[in-house]
């Protein structure tokens, strides 16, 4: 992966080049691609992808049962991105994402029960039932949310990055957003400012080919989103967002670049969402064939196959993990379902961090 | 002759008829083609009129409104859709500094005949997606602001807005799209901008409402009528220019007013109304102008909390009852 | 002990002292270094504190506020400067959806201790550069809004705002920068947010004002006093949270109120005040709450037109006189 | 000049290449550079640059005398850009600019008297005294203003461009802004949308090296602003903004590209403002030496020298033009000074284009 390239190289491109020159069998090559990671980590990655998948399948059920309201944006199909990216960084590196955030929350270590409780709008949710699916957060884990205004959080990450610099924390910021978000002004302002200040930010663009129903191909003048980075002279690389290990590698390199003080880095993860944009999506804008084609690349069975092929786990172990995860998610649903809704008496809490004193007009207006 | 259709269908018809009538009318916005429009208002129009007249845009609210403004300067009649009014904040500079001002600041050389269609509403969408800013829009000289409550007004006002030479902020309501109502048949149903309607007569209290709150106000009036309290309900329909005379005339014989909205109590459109009514009706008021509004807090996601905060018919009846408990002045 | 300094110098001192006190306090904004700050408030600070603590930004208002928000989440105390309040429209999404809401919507996990310094004012700057939006900011739950009128309050409130854990919109006034006044000496002069001050006592009319309009109100009160009309003048200083009690107490003994601002009459902060005062003081009011505000029109460039539109002491005296001509209620 | 290049070539670059291969003398080369234009046009260019210069010198005086208020942004030093650019396009091509607009207004044919009257805030001004220096406009000449919110007009031009396309007018849009404006979100949204829709827009960035006091070098991650275009895959070129003929050529090519339906084009004009940002600028951010260096490249004497050198005009003719221009400007000042201020009774005119009917609250609020 080239640094500060004017023509960003892609991880795929590199893999191809390796392929050309080497005589190694595909299987040998793939084992090499896994080699940076120990078996435990690989199994953890598998477990995490599965956790996201099962969690969301149950969430979809909860939505169908009207236990979950509002918008529910599933990450199914894209699990490898969150898993790979977060493994590429330190656990305390800062994380801020758009609304498609279940995967990031779970991998970052939020309790699945509390995440499900948030979706259920319960007092035990990660943000007390105030945010729902789009606004998961846990500041103690340096996970700064889940944000629902497209692009709105992108420049916030730059400020977080500048603070790491000033305070010399050695941490970087992972700033996650979709392909559709690259059109909005705030993306531009953020990319530009991050470069000017050399902020340690990894811009991770999840290119799942669609905004809601808007096709990237028709809504972008550049075919590859890494090309967006060229207007800022920002180094950039693509990764295979259906492969947690490839994503891990690219994001790790991007993160180390930023951590070394060399400034921001743009990563484009090539991925696909198997479900609609949100549960309300009639999905008229893409063909069944296209969806089928991508489903064939499902990151979970693909990764499972690699794990067994390389003897990292056998089917039994994978089944066991499967069972454990399912149990965990069922428990999470139960926890959510049994949790109480937020106490109406708390409705004005945390409007301000400082006590308002005698003025406090807000409180006097409760008329529930 | 009328026909019973939904608010959504009424809007769809207005767009379709105006596009048929005038080739310069074009739509632009996010997800208004393949996705079908996030509230399905534009569904199918791109197939009928082609992608040159139903333009899918990238996610760029300022750019969308700016493009509409520029197109209007080039002789077109663009109808820009901002997916929800929450995202209008990103286009506010374009709306306030360009759309609203060009005609005045360039001394009338050109006007900006655009419509910005957008939508307010609720549904556990949480803090950033449950706001409404009509009080802000209505404070901007140069803008017209329309918020219809019924299918008939939705259709008639949207058609008028498209033909209007000034920039019109047209705010729909997500909870009204499926409501049905009688709409005059034919493609010449126009409702003038700037005229309120007295939709129920009564002598005890004036309730001023618009958009979804009109329905809540009517439900409240019905309930109160059973108790012997007769409310006069005014549907503003247009917030700017405000038909203040209709309100004043009503308050002149009811002596009491409740103004209803969904934006925040502090600084919402209800404050504008209350300020105006107390100013013009001071001598006839027997009680302060009461406001039904959103409490001053971001809307939380949890269903139970959301329900506590969203103003309803119940909020209106409570406000009316508490007004009536205040003794007359004379 | 006090010392007589300008409003500009008071602000400069507040920034400098807080930066000396707390290494996490940083400034960021357009042209605040080499250019010296467009109103020279930050002049020289980059030399004293270096470019890491006085950060020049590109022209990107949304990005500036967002950066400040992110820095605050990273443990810093950023003071962002938006060159004028007109440009704040471009950052409104960041202010409303991020700064104001994070603390609430993420359930108190973190707060956003930023100050957004900006400035309103006039000077033949024409339509897009002569606006002020305090009524909008003050309607947003989660924000604090401060508009000092005097050097002492400018200094004391800015220092408090920087130490405050919540986002504060701090609006200065271009026509006040050179005004001088007594400021307590030393670096511990703090003025609390949320407390209005009765700056002149009188029994006939309450005049509520803030920022530049306070000076106009005081001039009007002086003039009216010569005619035997005694005005009580309340300097709000903070618009949100609003110290409504101080206003109510004053109106309780004057029975009349004039509220003054420079934003548009329709939907400006004056409407918020009028709505609130008529609500809480209905029984004691002898006349409607009068508003002194900007007429509902974009401000034109020509000097003579601008002068006609900007509210002045004269507008205040006129409003008071017309209030007094309205007979008492009892 | 390359079309749709990923690495935009610069007009300068091209000139150098020409220089390398040819043995022509500098003078021959320069004559060739002028050859596309007839003598009359060249003299008109000279006259127009001079008109801007003299006009603004008098405006500065008017400001000093407090006859002009508000912000006054002088274009002195940058005259070659407006002159060259507008000669490169049709007279009825659309034009929209930022607040540094005197030059564009004058070259587009606005009457200097009415422009000066606008600066004086008089009823006879191009926009009736309502706009002042920053808001000159004449829609009948397809000059859509002078705009004072940095970046705010940039995407408006895209809409204007789309309208030309839809109505098949054969016209293009010249969209003028400064280097500082390229950081703001609206620039990005405009560039992106223009490419998606292939809008016939020439984005003309006047790179005068500074925002107000902000140095481009410190506020931009790209050294050349043409590089910004790469993130949009938009063809781009630089021109010498101190030379009206070079600017003319590049803008003409850009305009023809757009007119042919090939989409937008980005032009970076390298220039310098000799005066402060506005009259209020203390100019502490740049050295006297730098200003002196650039003043040595003053486009007006440089162009005069070329005209005489090539026998297009002699000193006498140039002096005559000088005299005529000075007379014209003096007359403009007189016209402005003798014009009445706007009638206060018109203060609410044109707030809306449609009569408001009985509601019309605005009118009832006149309290002058
Ligand atoms: C400013 C803004 N505009 C529009 C929307 C509505 N909206 C929500 S998600 C979305 C599509 C975003 O697509 P992308 O960035 O590709 O992310 P993805 O959903 O594919 O992960 C849109 C248009 C919004 N939330 N915010
Ligand atoms: C949105 C916005 N932010 C800030 C300003 C204040 N401002 C006016 S001009 C200017 C500098 C613009 O520089 P550039 O774009 O390079 O144009 P130049 O003045 O050099 O021609 C700034 C910051 C403004 N008018 N609008
Ligand atoms: Mg996407
Ligand atoms: Mg510049």
Q: Does D361 touch chain C (CB under 8 A)?
A: yes
Q: Smallest Cβ distance to B62: which of D186, D196, D350?
A: D186
Over residues A308-333, the pLDDT tens digits come to 999 999 999 999 999 999 999 999 99
CB neighbours of B84 closer than 8 A, spacing ≥ 6? B38, B118, B119, B120, B121, B129, B174
> A271 CA distance to ligand 3 centroid (A)?
9
User: Which residues of chain C are within 8 Å of residue B288 when distances are taken between CB atoms?
Assistant: 278-280, 282
The one-character DSSP state at D258 is I
Q: Report percent pLDDT > 70 for chain A.
A: 88
Model pLDDT, residue A23: 53
Q: Smallest Cβ distance to C136: which of B136, B298, B326?
A: B136
Residue A265 forms beta bridges with which residues? Answer: A202
The yes-or-no answer on residue B129 being catalytic is: yes
Q: Which helix (H) or strand (E) holds C115?
A: strand C115-120
Residue B146 forms beta bridges with which residues? Answer: B170, B238
Model pLDDT, residue D35: 67
Model pLDDT, residue A214: 86
Q: Which of A211, A218, A241 to mutate to test the pocket of ligand 1 (most atoms within 8 A of CB)?
A: A211
Between the alpha carbon of residue C59 and those of residues B230, C144, D367, the distances in Å are 57, 25, 38
Mean pLDDT for chain A overall: 90
State how far the Cα of A129 lies from the Cα of A118, in Å rounded to an integer: 5
Over residues A198-210, the pLDDT tens digits come to 999 999 999 999 9
Nearest CA in chain A to B36: A284
Q: Report percent pLDDT > 70 for chain B.
A: 99
Model pLDDT, residue B252: 98
Is B58 close to D357, i.e. CB distance below 8 A?
no
Q: Ligand 2, atom 18: nearest CA belongs to which residue?
A: D178
Q: Which of A102, A104, A151, A212 to mutate to test the pocket of ligand 1 (most atoms within 8 A of CB)?
A: A212
Over residues A72-123, the pLDDT tens digits come to 999 999 999 999 999 999 999 999 999 999 999 999 999 999 999 999 999 9
Nearest CA in chain B to A72: B125
Model pLDDT, residue C171: 98
Q: Report percent pLDDT > 90 for chain B.
A: 97
Does residue A19 register a pLDDT over 50?
A: no
Contact (Cβ atoms closer than 8 angstroms) between residue D37 and residue D244: no
Is A151 close to B59, i.e. CB distance below 8 A?
yes
State how far the Cα of D297 lies from the Cα of D281, in Å rounded to an integer: 22
Selected residues 204-243 of chain D with any CB under 8 Å from a CB in chain C: 211-215, 218-220
Ligand 2 atom closest to the CA of C38, numbered from 1: 6
Residue C180 burial (C-beta neighbours within 10 Å; 0-12, 13-18, 19+): middle
More confident residue, B289 or D27: B289
Annotated catalytic residue, options B18, B61, B81, B216: B61
Model pLDDT, residue C170: 98
What is the average per-residue pLDDT within D224-229? 96
Model pLDDT, residue C49: 98
- Whether omega before C241 lies within 30 degrees of 0, making that bond cis, reads yes
Is D221 close to A228, i.e. CB distance below 8 A?
no
Over residues B270-319, the pLDDT tens digits come to 999 999 999 999 999 999 999 999 999 999 999 999 999 999 999 999 99
Mutation target vs B (from A131, A137, A147; most B CBs, 10 A cutoff): A131
- A176 alpha carbon, closest ligand: 1
**Residue B217 C-alpha, separation from nearest chain A C-alpha, in angstroms:** 17
Query: Which residues of C are tagged catalytic?
Result: 61, 129
Does residue D20 register a pLDDT over 70?
A: no
State how far the Cα of D199 lies from the Cα of B61, in Å rounded to an integer: 18
State how far the Cα of B311 lies from the Cα of B261, in Å rounded to an integer: 8
Nearest CA in chain B to D164: B74
Is B139 close to C267, i.e. CB distance below 8 A?
yes
Q: Map tokens 């990273």 to a residue.
A: C74
Q: Smallest Cβ distance to D188: which of A185, A229, A230?
A: A185
Query: Which structure tokens are listed for A182?
Result: 């690259």
CB neighbours of D267 closer than 8 A, spacing ≥ 6? D85, D202, D203, D204, D205, D236, D237, D238, D239, D250, D251, D254
Over residues D310-358, the pLDDT tens digits come to 999 999 999 999 999 999 999 999 999 999 999 999 999 999 999 775 4
User: Which residues of chain B are within 8 Å of residue A341 when distances are taken between CB atoms?
Assistant: 302-305
Model pLDDT, residue A24: 59
Chain B, chain D: beta-carbon pairs less than 8 Å apart: 158
Contact (Cβ atoms closer than 8 angstroms) between residue A191 and residue A253: no
Over residues D34-79, the pLDDT tens digits come to 767 999 999 999 999 999 999 999 999 999 999 999 999 999 999 9
State how far the Cα of C218 lies from the Cα of D261, in Å rounded to an integer: 63
Over residues B141-150, the pLDDT tens digits come to 999 999 999 9
Model pLDDT, residue A362: 47
Does residue B107 register a pLDDT over 70?
A: yes
Is D150 close to C265, i.e. CB distance below 8 A?
no
User: SS3 letters for chain A?
Assistant: CCCCCCCCCCHHHHHHHHHHHCCCCHHHHHHHHHCCCCHHHHHHHHHHHHHHHHHHHHHHHHHHCCCCCCCCCCCCCCHHHHHHHHHCCCCCCEEEEECCCHHHHHHCCCCHHHHHHHHCCCCCCCCCCCCCHHHCCEHHHCEEEEECCCCCCHHHHHHHHHHHHHHCCCCCEEEEEEHHHHHCHHHHHHHHHHHHHCCCEEEEEEECCECCCCEHHHHCCCCCHHHHHHHHCCCEEEEECCCHHHHHHHHHHHHHHHHCCCCCEEEEEECCCCCCCCCCCCCCCCCHHHHHHHHCCCHHHHHHHHHHHCCCCCHHHHHHHHHHHHHHHHHHHHHHHHCCCCCHHHCCCCCCCCCCCCCCHHHHCCCC
Over residues A212-261, the pLDDT tens digits come to 988 888 889 998 999 999 999 999 999 999 999 999 999 999 999 999 99
User: Which residues of chain C are within 8 Å of residue A153 when distances are taken between CB atoms?
Assistant: 98
Ligand 2 touching residue D210 (CB < 6 A)? yes
Ligand 1 atom closest to the CA of A208, numbered from 1: 20
Q: Report percent pLDDT > 90 for chain D.
A: 82
Neighbouring chains to D with at least 3 Cβ pairs closer than 8 Å = A, B, C
pLDDT confidence tier of residue B326, bands split at 50, 70 and 90: confident
What is the average per-residue pLDDT within B105-125? 98
**Residue C228 C-alpha, separation from nearest chain B C-alpha, in angstroms:** 25
Model pLDDT, residue D12: 40
**Residue A284 C-alpha, separation from nearest chain B C-alpha, in angstroms:** 6
Over residues D290-310, the pLDDT tens digits come to 999 999 999 999 999 999 999
The yes-or-no answer on residue B61 being catalytic is: yes
Over residues C29-76, the pLDDT tens digits come to 999 998 888 899 999 999 999 999 999 999 999 999 999 999 999 999
pLDDT means over runs of 10, chain C (330 residues): 97 98 98 90 96 97 98 98 98 98 98 98 97 98 98 98 98 98 96 98 98 98 98 98 97 98 97 98 97 97 98 98 74
Over residues B158-171, the pLDDT tens digits come to 999 999 999 999 99
Q: Which helix (H) or strand (E) holds C28?
A: strand C25-29
Ligand 2 atom closest to the CA of D148, numbered from 1: 25
> D214 CA distance to ligand 2 centroid (A)?
10
Q: Ligand 2, atom 13: nearest CA belongs to which residue?
A: D211
Mean pLDDT for chain B overall: 97
User: Which residues of chain C are within 8 Å of residue A92 when distances are taken between CB atoms?
Assistant: none
Model pLDDT, residue A13: 38
Strand order in the sheet with D94-98: D143-147, D94-98, D173-178, D201-207, D265-270, D236-240
State how far the Cα of A191 lies from the Cα of A226, in Å rounded to an integer: 12
State how far the Cα of D90 lies from the Cα of B114, in Å rounded to an integer: 28
**Residue B85 C-alpha, separation from nearest chain C C-alpha, in angstroms:** 12
User: Which residues of chain A are within 8 Å of residue C166 when distances are taken between CB atoms?
Assistant: 352-354
**Residue A207 C-alpha, separation from nearest chain C C-alpha, in angstroms:** 23
Kindly write down the DSSP assignment for every residue of C257-274, as one continuous string: EEEEEEEETTTSHHHHHH
Does residue A22 register a pLDDT over 70?
A: no
């Amino acid at each position: 992966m080239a640094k500060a390239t004017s023509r960003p190289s892609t991880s795929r491109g590199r893999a191809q080049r390796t392929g050309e020159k080497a005589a190694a069998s595909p299987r040998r090559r793939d084992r090499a691609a896994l080699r940076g990671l120990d078996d435990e980590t690989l199994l953890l990655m598998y477990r995490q992808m599965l956790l996201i998948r099962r969690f969301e399948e149950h969430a979809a059920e909860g939505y169908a049962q009207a236990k979950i309201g509002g918008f529910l944006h599933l990450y199914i199909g894209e699990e490898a991105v969150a898993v790979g990216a977060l493994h590429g960084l330190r656990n305390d590196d800062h994380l801020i994402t758009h609304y498609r955030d279940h995967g990031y929350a779970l991998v970052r270590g939020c309790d699945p029960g509390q995440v499900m409780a948030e979706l259920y709008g319960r007092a035990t949710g990660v943000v007390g039932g105030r945010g729902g699916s789009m606004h998961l957060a846990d500041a103690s884990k340096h996970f700064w949310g889940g944000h629902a205004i497209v692009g709105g959080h992108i420049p916030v990450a730059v400020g977080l990055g500048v603070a790491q610099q000033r305070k010399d924390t050695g941490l970087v910021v992972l700033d996650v957003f979709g392909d559709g978000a690259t059109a909005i002004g705030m993306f531009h302002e953020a990319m530009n400012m991050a470069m000017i200040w050399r902020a340690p930010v990894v811009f991770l663009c999840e290119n799942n080919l669609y905004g809601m129903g808007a096709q990237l191909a028709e809504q972008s003048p550049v075919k590859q989103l890494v090309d967006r980075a060229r207007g800022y002279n920002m180094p950039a690389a693509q990764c295979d967002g259906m492969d947690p290990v490839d994503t891990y590698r690219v994001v790790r390199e991007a993160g180390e670049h930023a951590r070394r003080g060399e400034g921001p880095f743009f990563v484009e993860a090539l991925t696909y969402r198997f479900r609609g944009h949100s549960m309300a999506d009639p999905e008229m804008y893409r063909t069944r064939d296209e969806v089928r084609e991508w489903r064939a690349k499902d990151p979970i069975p693909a990764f499972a196959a690699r794990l067994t092929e390389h003897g990292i786990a056998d089917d039994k172990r994978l089944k066991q993990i499967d069972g454990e995860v399912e149990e965990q998610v069922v428990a999470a649903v139960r926890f959510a379902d049994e949790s109480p809704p937020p106490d109406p008496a708390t409705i004005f809490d945390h409007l301000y961090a400082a006590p308002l004193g005698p003025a406090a007009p807000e409180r006097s207006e409760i008329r529930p | 002759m009328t026909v019973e259709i939904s608010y959504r269908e009424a809007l769809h018809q207005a767009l379709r008829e105006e596009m048929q009538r005038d080739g310069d009318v074009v739509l632009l916005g996010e997800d208004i083609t393949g996705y079908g429009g996030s509230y399905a208002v534009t569904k199918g129009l791109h197939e009928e009129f082609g992608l040159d007249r139903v333009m899918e845009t990238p996610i760029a609210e300022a750019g969308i409104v700016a493009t509409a403004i520029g197109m209007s300067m080039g002789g077109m009649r663009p109808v820009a859709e901002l997916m929800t009014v929450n995202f209008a904040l990103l286009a506010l500079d374009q709306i306030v500094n360009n759309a609203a001002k060009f005609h005045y600041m360039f001394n009338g050389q050109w006007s900006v005949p655009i419509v910005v269609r957008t939508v307010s509403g609720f549904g556990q969408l949480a803090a950033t997606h449950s706001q409404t800013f009509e009080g802000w829009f209505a404070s901007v000289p140069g803008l017209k602001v329309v918020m219809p409550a019924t299918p008939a007004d939705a259709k008639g006002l949207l058609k008028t807005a498209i033909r209007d030479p000034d920039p019109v902020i047209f705010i729909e309501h997500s909870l009204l799209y499926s409501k049905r109502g009688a709409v005059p048949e034919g493609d010449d149903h126009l409702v003038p901008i700037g005229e309120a309607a007295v939709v129920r007569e009564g002598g005890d209290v004036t309730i001023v409402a618009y958009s979804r709150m009109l329905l809540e106000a009517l439900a409240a009036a019905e309930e109160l009528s059973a108790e012997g309290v007769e409310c006069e309900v005014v549907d503003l329909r247009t917030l700017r220019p405000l038909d203040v005379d209709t309100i004043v005339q009503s308050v002149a014989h009811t002596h009491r007013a409740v103004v209803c909205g969904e934006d925040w109590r502090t600084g919402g459109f209800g404050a504008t109304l209350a300020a105006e009514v107390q100013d013009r009706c001071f001598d006839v008021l027997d009680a302060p102008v009461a406001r039904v509004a959103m409490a001053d807090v971001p809307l939380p996601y949890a269903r139970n909390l959301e329900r506590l905060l969203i103003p309803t018919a119940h909020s209106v009846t409570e406000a009316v009852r508490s007004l009536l408990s205040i003794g007359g002045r004379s």
